Amino acid sequence: MGGITLILVATFFSLLVINTPVAIAIAGASLTAIIANGGDAGFTVAQRMANGVNSFPLLAIPFFVFSGILMGRGGLARRLIDFAALFVGRLPGGLSYVNTLTCMFFGSISGSAAAAVSSVGGFMIPEMNKEGYDRDFNVAVTATAATTGMLIPPSNAMIVYSVAAGSVSIAAMFMAGILPGILVGVFLMIVSGIISVRKGYGRKCAGGMKIEYSPLKVCIRAIPSLFLVVLIIGGILAGIFSATEAAAIAVAYAFVLSVLIYREIPWKALPEICLQTGLTTAVVMLLIGASSSMSWIMTVANIPQSVSNALMGMSSNPYVILFTINIMLLVVGTFMDMTPAILIFTPILLPVVTKLGMHPVHFGIVLIANLCIGLCTPPVGTCLFIGCGVGQTTIAKVTARAVPLFLGMVAALFVTTYVPKLVLWIPELCGLLGK
């Protein structure tokens, strides 16, 4: 089976090198490996792709994508920015705190890091530029902070992991991500605050960001947006609806808020939003289907067992093995998108960490936290690309400014890895770990 592994890996990376789309590279590598194994490649890959997307929990993804787009265009970002500015806007380097805190709020509501970069960054980056903050630093803060929305629920990445892991509760994953997501945001604010003080950022707006409304009105304007998190998480925990049904409710709520109450989205824009939702969902589902076919051929080639034996043979110390897994996933995240990485590496690494006594929910959060860093690092960091487009700067300049922020995220990652109570405390409190 070693030959199949070599063919699979070589074909996949060869296709990536020539800029083949990731989903096509995954499916092409699977086809090639199955042909080399003497199987009916076309039938097998098609069957595995169909089975891969034939999952009820995955129905939540298009709904969350739809609700995320509605929120991104529906005026929620500015209301959350004003709300965050009430608490941290007057501190030294306050706009970097406002940026980070708003990305945490918005990401948790929309479940989309890309939407957080474009919506929050579209206002905060120019505002920070105007107040004397360095443009590249502003983009770096936005790109890194936006990834917290993948850890703070609801999150499409958690749904994908739950499907890939098999028996992991989506509700448990949602609850487990709250404290790690907040931890990453706090670390980012600490780093950005230190940089702001040293560089003298924010001196021009020492009195805080200008807000057009009174503090009471700012809070009132933000409550409907923030209530969505309470509605979704509260409904799931209370057993009123499942995660998939919660996603549909999120669409209805976002529609009422953005179209009927705030009226930021005209009716004539809805067909285009539906089309964008369909295109985004199609890409995600193609990735999931293709990754499912690769996961199957990897199982046939005994790759999970081989990796498990190699890691377990490397050291008997679980801390060393977890450190090695983290470094490997940090490298993976730099060149692979989050969805296929979760689907490919979950069946490979989950057996390893369960042998070490690590809870599958804990590993899921560690996996997603690793891959979140890849969203804002070159060469394929989605948030980095969007942030550079919004901020009108280059990837090289932003990456240089983002290094201290990356280190802050990595520090939060290792705290999350080695302090399981941080991850498991809330789902355990809610009685979700046994489900």
Q: Measure the CA–CA gap between 119 and 70, rounded to whole angstroms.
A: 11
Q: What is the rounded average pLDDT for all residues in the chain?
A: 86
pLDDT at 266: 92
Burial string for 220-253 (b: 16+ CB within 10 Å, else e) reads ebbeebbebbebbbebbeeeeebbbbbbbbbbeb
Query: In terms of pLDDT, which residue wins out, 343 or 368?
Result: 368
Virtual torsion, Cα 362, 367, 372, 375, nearest 10 deg: -170
The interaxial angle of helices 113-130 and 60-73, nearest 10 deg, is: 20
Cβ distance 202 to 92 under 8 Å? Answer: yes
3-state helix, strand, coil in the chain (%, to 5): 80, 0, 20
pLDDT at 17: 82
Q: Measure the CA–CA gap between 322 and 57, rounded to whole angstroms.
A: 29
pLDDT at 60: 85
Query: In terms of pLDDT, which residue wins out, 186 or 218?
Result: 186
pLDDT at 158: 92
Q: Of 146, 182, 183, 150, nearest to 338 (Cα)?
A: 150
Quick check: 29 pLDDT over 60?
A: yes
- Model confidence at 192, pLDDT cuts 50, 70, 90, reads very high
- Model confidence at 42, pLDDT cuts 50, 70, 90, reads low
Instruction: List the single range of 186-195, 262-271, 376-385 with lowest mean pLDDT.
Output: 376-385
Instruction: List the single range of 196-200, 302-306, 371-375 with lowest mean pLDDT.
Output: 302-306
Instruction: List the single range of 76-85, 93-102, 314-323, 326-335 with lowest mean pLDDT.
Output: 76-85
Quick check: 234 pLDDT over 60?
A: yes
Residue 201 phi, psi dihedral angles, 5° rounding? -70, 140
Cβ distance 32 to 61 under 8 Å? Answer: no
pLDDT for 96-151, tens place per residue? 898 999 988 887 787 778 888 888 888 889 888 888 889 999 999 999 999 998 89
- Model confidence at 380, pLDDT cuts 50, 70, 90, reads confident
Quick check: 45 pLDDT over 50?
A: yes
pTM tops 0.95, yes or no: no
Q: DSSP code of 363?
A: H
* Mean pLDDT for the stretch of residues 196-221: 74
pLDDT at 191: 95
Cβ distance 71 to 273 under 8 Å? Answer: no
Residue 423 phi, psi dihedral angles, 5° rounding? -85, -45
